[in-house]
Amino acid sequence: MPTDSFEAYRLPEEHEAVREAVRAVCDAKVAPNAAEADETSEFPKASYEALRSSDFHAPHIPEEYGGAGADALATAIVIEEVARACASSSLIPAVNKLGTMPLLLSGSEELKRKYLPPVASGEAMFSYCLSEPEAGSDAASMTTRAVRDGDHWVLDGVKRWITNAGVSRYYTVFAVTEPGVGAKGISAFVVEKSDAGVSFGAPEKKLGIKGSPTREVYLDGVRIPADRIIGEPGTGFATAMRTLDHTRVTIAAQALGIAQGALDFSAKYVTERTQFGKAVADFQGVQFMLADMAMKLEAARQLTYAAAARSERGDADLTFFGAAAKCYASDAAMEITTDAVQLLGGYGYTRDFPVERMMRDAKITQIYEGTNQVQRIVMARQLLKAFR
């Protein structure tokens, strides 16, 4: 068998180099801010500056728009490594990709050239506004409206659970442009923070990822130029779903990083902590826990990287793999971080150690960009297509 057949199971050297570079930045300039961002529930500006100065804040932006041009796998590795240091900070590159992906998939060249370069330079961030108070998993039931008025669209409605709201300058907003036809009546638009009629709710009081603001976005008669529509009218929902196919991979990567951080810390802790006259790591029960944690993490990593490769190629089975990676990696992260707390015993339950924060941060990866129950529905539908 030719040796090239095995190269698919080894990361290319350039991707390993990306990991080393991101880890160095994060260990030095992101990890030291993680506990404070969690404690104060404030956006970690120092971490953002560190990522921006290293070109890791939005690595996916193509070179023609001033970006680093990282492929989907390299972007996933960046997010994974940032999340290993600070889950809140990993939402900087992750949400920049989420917010801009609709433009990359469906936007006009004029929109791309106007809005992608400021994100690439770090001058602006980009958020994604799909969910509403009464339209979460059932996003097609949204009520936010966009009405055409000459050379403008006028938007009215409320978007909820918007990551980095208030910090981001730009927002991809989904709204109903043709009522009564369901998903086919939804369109996508670029809205700017400075547009008249845009305002934000109070920051949500959350269990985890406290350093990443989550707020409602209010649209009160927001009048925007007609050329800010993303794609043709009525194609917004399809663009939203295609976007999530790609960005669920980034949530899987975030989950990997959180889990890796918890495993690294707990493994080191049990080698240093002694009980009954020997290192806690010498007890077989502890070793079995660590083995299971590492096994789940590595399985999740392989599935996530396979999904990232499909994202880069735009494979037909990306919908299944994106959902599978997000679902499996986030479930694994929740299990691994919970076990990490257990391995530290009473200390794991205190804020003196980072694993309780990692456990709290891991929970959201099972919920946003589609709950894991929704991911299983997505996977089952894709699976059953072949038999119907």
The residues assigned a catalytic role are: 369
> Cα dihedral sign for 176, 179, 183, 185?
negative
Residues 6+ positions from 368 with CB-CB distance below 8 Å: 161, 163, 251
**Tokens at residue 74, please?**
């390299």
Indicate the helix (H) or strand (E) that contains 120: helix 109-121
Q: Which helix (H) or strand (E) holds 13?
A: helix 13-29
Token pair for 237: 């929902």
Cα–chain center distance at 353: 24
Residue 277: both structure tokens together: 């006259």
Give dist(CA 227, CA 76) in Å, integer.
31
Residue closest to 267 by CA, chosen among 278, 277, 259: 259
Task: Pull the structure tokens for residue 246.
Answer: 């790609």
- Establish how many alpha carbons lie within 13 A of residue 339's alpha carbon, considering only the half-sphere containing its beta carbon: 26
DSSP string, 136-202: SS-GGG---EEEEETTEEEEEEEEEEEETTTT-SEEEEEEESSTTSGGGGEEEEEEETTSTTEEE-P
What is the per-residue burial (b if ≥16 Cβ within 10 Å, else e) of 23-61? bebbeebbbbbbbebbeebebbeebbebbbebbbbbbbb
Q: List residues bridging with 152 in a β-sheet.
A: 149, 225
Helix H segments across 180-317? 236-272, 284-313
Residue 32 tokens, joined: 């030291």
Beta-bridge partner residues of 300? none
